[in-house]
Structure 1
Amino acid sequence: MRLGLKKDEVRLDAYNPEWRNEFHRVKNAIIENTNIVDHRIEPIGSTAIIGMDSKPIIDILVGVDDISNFDERIVSGLKNIGFLRLKVQRPGEIVFARFTDETYTVKTHFIHLAEYQKELWNNLIYFRDYLNSNEDARLEYLKVKKAYLKMSSTGINDYTDHKEDFVKSIFELGKM
Structure 2
Amino acid sequence: MVAGPSVTWNIFDHGKITNNVRVQDARLQQLTVVYQNTVREAAREADDAATALIAALQRDVILNDAQRAAQRSLKLASAIYREGYSDFQRVLDAQRALFAQQDAYIVNRSNAVGSLVALYKAVGGGWYSEQPLVDPATRQQMEQRTDWGDMLNEPNAPSANASPSEGSR
Give the TM-score, by structure 1 length.
0.22
Per the normalisation by structure 2, the TM-score is 0.22
**Structure with the largest fraction of helix:** 2
